[in-house]
Amino acid sequence: MRTYQIASKADGERLAEALVRATKLDAPVVEKMLAFGAVQLRFRGKGPWERVRDGRLKLHPQDQVRTAYDPKVLAFKAFDNAQSVYENKNYGVWIKPAGVMSQGTDAGDHVSLLYAIEKTGKKPFPVHRLDRETEGLTVVAYTPKAAAALSQLFQEYRIQKTYWAIVTGELANLNEQGLIDHDLDGKSAQTRYRILKRLPENRLLMEAAPLTGRLHQIRRHFDLLECPVLGDPKYGRGNKNRDGMKLAAVGLVFMDPIEKVQRKWSYEPEWAALN
């Protein structure tokens, strides 16, 4: 991946022209980078970096532009078939498929849930992220006010999250239900779990509820018990799976911070019905 920091040579230079000049890439490649979210801009050099897709945009000399060129990323097909289970004017609850990112990287955002939501005409703000390999329910805000309020709920652990997973390995290490209380990255981390169903081939269908929000918490906690999630590409041994990782966000419950009513949603992954 090649990265570039670009400054306009003249007031009013069009963004696409500046990108072609600075990167030496062909115009069709630059157009694709713009369309796929690989270009970000800080207006007048202030505020946050924002993805920009319109190559006709005229630059101000103080505008700052950055881009990342990765042909492998650009070769991925865009994800534009997102499905919501609930929406109001403030936020929506969407289904993120496995293999789709919650949001993009510097090299593009076209294989992300936020890109697909933006394609529906909304301006999405991420407040809840699922690992790329994890599928299921995720919350996306539509206004800065809603994003701040929902983010606070997540930060204060006032959102009840439930996951289903298929695990394998040393299953004798698991009781029918229990609490995994093991620090991660030097911070307290707790995950409640219970066995939902015993499956063939030394596997279990599990329900897990993280009480804290550490990186890859459920995956790492089950791996520490030597019962890793089936198909996890990062953690565990003897748990590889051609059909991908079997972990899904299946339940969300929280008090709507704006309308002050309790909300509840559920989701069942296809692989759970097959086992």
Catalytic sites, residue numbers? 131
Which residue in 193, 201, 217 sits closest to 134, CA to CA? 217
Asked if residue 247 lies in contact with residue 134, where contact means CB atoms within 8 angstroms, the answer is: yes
Distance in angstroms (rounded) separating the CA atoms of residues 12 and 68: 23
Between CA 114 and CA 124, with CA 120 as vertex, the angle to 5 degrees is 35
Angle at which helices 15-23 and 27-35 cross, to 10°? 120
Instruction: Give the other-Cβ count within 10 Å of 258's Cβ.
Output: 14
Asked if residue 251 lies in contact with residue 161, where contact means CB atoms within 8 angstroms, the answer is: yes
Distance in angstroms (rounded) separating the CA atoms of residues 178 and 189: 14
Distance in angstroms (rounded) separating the CA atoms of residues 62 and 72: 31
Residue 127: CA count within 13 A, CB half-sphere = 29
How far is CA 8 from each of CA 23, 100, 148, rounded to the nearest angstrom? Answer: 13, 34, 34
Which residue in 62, 1, 10, 69 sits closest to 37, CA to CA? 69
Asked if residue 239 lies in contact with residue 169, where contact means CB atoms within 8 angstroms, the answer is: yes
